[in-house]
Structure formats: C-alpha cells, structure tokens
C-alpha cells in the first residue's frame, strides 16, 4: 500500500482510524484506503454520516464563537482529530487574537498534521494523549506552557465521548477535567445517539457494527445518559439539544434530517 509522505512511519496504514474516517466524511485528504473502505461500509447503513459530521463541525464553530464572546481566551480540544478548515484555533483566534488553543489526540496522524498546521503559531499546540487518562493531559508540558488553569477554559469534547466505553468510565474522566478547570469554564460537547436518526434502529446498528469491527466501538447513548456528563455545570440556553438547534445561525428546519442525529450542549461551571 502506498504510504504518502505526510504519514508517520510508525503507523499501520492498513488499520482504519476514527480520526481519518472523520476526515474522509468531511471531504479531507488525509485518509487511507482502509479508512475510506470502513467509511463507505458505515455509509451503506447510515448514508447521512457526512451530514452528521458537518453538523458537529458547524456546532463546534458556533460554540467556540460563543465562548470567545463570553470572554474565554483558552481552549482545550480533546479528541481534536485531523485539522480541517475552520478548526478551533482559526475560529477562536479570529474572534479573540491571542486566544490559546491546545489540541489533544491519540492518533499519530492527527498529531503530526496538527504540528504541521500549527507551525509558527505560538498560541496553539498539540499533545499526544488520551481522554481516558486526563491526568496525563493536565500534567503535559504543552498544557502547562499554554493554559492557565486558574483562568476559565473552554473544554471541547466534540464527537469523542461516544468512542469511550462505559467500562473506561468516561464520566470520571469528564469530572476530573471539570475539577481541574477554573470556575466559569465551559464544557462544549456533542455525542451520538440513536434518538432522532431518520432511520429504523436496526439500520443504524449496521453502521455501529462497522466501528466495532475496526475495534473503535461507537457507543450510542440516550439524551439522559449524555446529560450526566454535564454534572457540576449549569446548562447554557437552549440546553442539550440536537446539533442544529443549538443557537442556529440559519433556520434549523432547513437542515438535512441527518444533522439532528446526536446531541450538543454547552455547560458553565459554577
């Protein structure tokens, strides 16, 4: 299999990666045939997957602008993936020049690309780490250099928690991060759910099985289960809602029905 020049030597290009599949859905070019094959298999069951990912990105951009308008100048994006147009640092630094952004991902391609994109940007960096080990993120030299934990931070967990199984206790990881951040910090979150997918559940389950096959299980949670991640936060209006309904800039009813698959919300710590 052809290895592009940008691919780190250490990675197995025959093994699909969640970050590169997401890149493919968004129309990016940093994915391999194994990723495209897995993405196409999932789309056979759930053809609206690219629309869901686009709705995720659009929500993320609105939430980052909201955070900047609220005076937040520090952003911690965990599970950040491969940088594509309109990434957090671009949106945040356009709204607030000098805003500091730390990306976190455990995919080596995502980290390598983030390093390339951020070269020369003194207010943004990337660390190779895993949401399931929040202490490693919090203790990283990159975070300690860039982020002042005594000032509010916008913590972004966009389309990441549904890849953390209950056995790995994602709630504990979110709580540990919450407790490390200053009062007035924001939690920006999206999560996949069977609710509101415009297909019978058994069709959606076919797409979920593809992720299971590539050893990146996709954990679909109910709205009530997703709401528990916001314990210790006050929800920002309009609360936990389908992605296009969170402070939309265009009429939500004009959105593709698939864009409503999954929930989005922003909480503020007291």
Q: Is position 59 within any domain?
A: yes
Q: What is the dihedral of CA 202, 204, 209, 210, to 10 degrees?
A: 140
How many domains would you assign to the chain? 1
Check: CB of residue 124 under 8 Å from CB of residue 142. no
pLDDT, position 212: 95
| C-alpha R_g of the chain | 17
Residue 92: exposure state from Cβ atoms within 10 A (0-12, 13-18, ≥19) = buried
Q: How far is CA 157 from the centre of its chain?
A: 5
Q: Is position 27 within any domain?
A: no
Q: Is position 10 within any domain?
A: no
Q: Is position 42 within any domain?
A: no
Q: Reduced to 3 states, what is the DSSP secondary structure of residue 155?
A: strand
**CATH number, domain containing residue 256:** 3.40.50.150
Report mean pLDDT in 10-residue bins for the chain, 270 residues.
Answer: 74 90 93 95 96 96 98 98 90 97 94 92 97 98 98 98 97 98 98 95 94 94 98 98 96 92 97
Give the orientation angle of helix 108-118 with respect to helix 18-25, to 10 degrees. Answer: 60
| DSSP states along 93-111 | HHHSTT-EEEEEES-HHHH
Q: What is the rounded CA–CA span in Å between residue 82 and residue 269? A: 28
Residue numbers of the domain that contains 181: 50-196+220-269
Check: CB of residue 127 under 8 Å from CB of residue 103. yes
Q: For the beta carbon of residue 41, count every other beta carbon within 10 angstroms.
A: 17
**Residue at token pair 């402070």:** 247
Least Cα distance to 171 among 241, 219, 215 occurs for 219
Q: Is position 16 within any domain?
A: no
**Residue at token pair 């920006």:** 188
Q: Is position 15 within any domain?
A: no
Q: What is the rounded CA–CA span in Å between residue 106 and residue 109? A: 9
How far does the chain reach from its first CA to its final CA, in angstroms?
Answer: 52
What CA–CA distances, in Å, run from 183 to 149, 188, 234?
10, 15, 11
**Phi then psi dihedrals of residue 123, to 5 deg:** -100, 15
Q: Is position 1 within any domain?
A: no
Beta-bridge partner residues of 74? 100
Q: What is the dihedral of CA 81, 83, 85, 87, to 10 degrees?
A: 70
What CA–CA distances, in Å, run from 139 to 136, 144, 146?
5, 7, 12
pLDDT, position 239: 98
Check: CB of residue 179 under 8 Å from CB of residue 263. no
């Amino acid at each position: 299999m052809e290895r592009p020049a940008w691919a780190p030597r250490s990675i197995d290009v025959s093994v699909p990666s969640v970050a590169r599949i997401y890149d493919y859905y968004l129309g990016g070019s940093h994915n391999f045939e194994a990723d495209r094959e897995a993405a196409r298999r999932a789309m056979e069951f759930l053809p609206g997957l690219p629309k869901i990912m686009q709705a995720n990105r659009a929500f993320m951009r609105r939430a980052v602008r909201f955070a900047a308008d609220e005076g937040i100048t520090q952003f911690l994006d965990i599970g950040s993936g491969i940088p594509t147009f309109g990434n957090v640092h671009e949106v945040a630094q356009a709204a607030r020049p000098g805003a500091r952004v730390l990306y976190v991902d455990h995919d080596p391609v995502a980290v390598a690309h983030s390093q390339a994109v951020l070269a020369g940007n003194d207010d943004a960096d990337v660390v190779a780490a895993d949401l399931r080990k929040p202490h490693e993120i919090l203790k990283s030299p990159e975070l300690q250099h860039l982020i002042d934990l005594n000032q509010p931070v916008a913590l972004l967990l966009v389309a990441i928690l549904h890849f953390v199984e209950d056995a790995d206790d994602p709630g504990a990881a979110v709580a540990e991060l919450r407790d490390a951040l200053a009062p007035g910090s924001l939690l920006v979150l999206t999560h996949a759910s069977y609710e509101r997918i415009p297909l019978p559940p058994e069709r959606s389950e076919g797409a979920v099985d593809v992720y299971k096959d590539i050893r990146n299980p996709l954990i679909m949670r109910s709205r009530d289960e997703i709401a528990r991640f916001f314990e210790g936060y006050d929800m920002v209006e309009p609360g936990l809602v389908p992605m296009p309904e969170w402070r939309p800039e265009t009429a939500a009813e004009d959105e593709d029905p698939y864009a409503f698959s999954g929930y989005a919300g922003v909480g503020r710590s007291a």
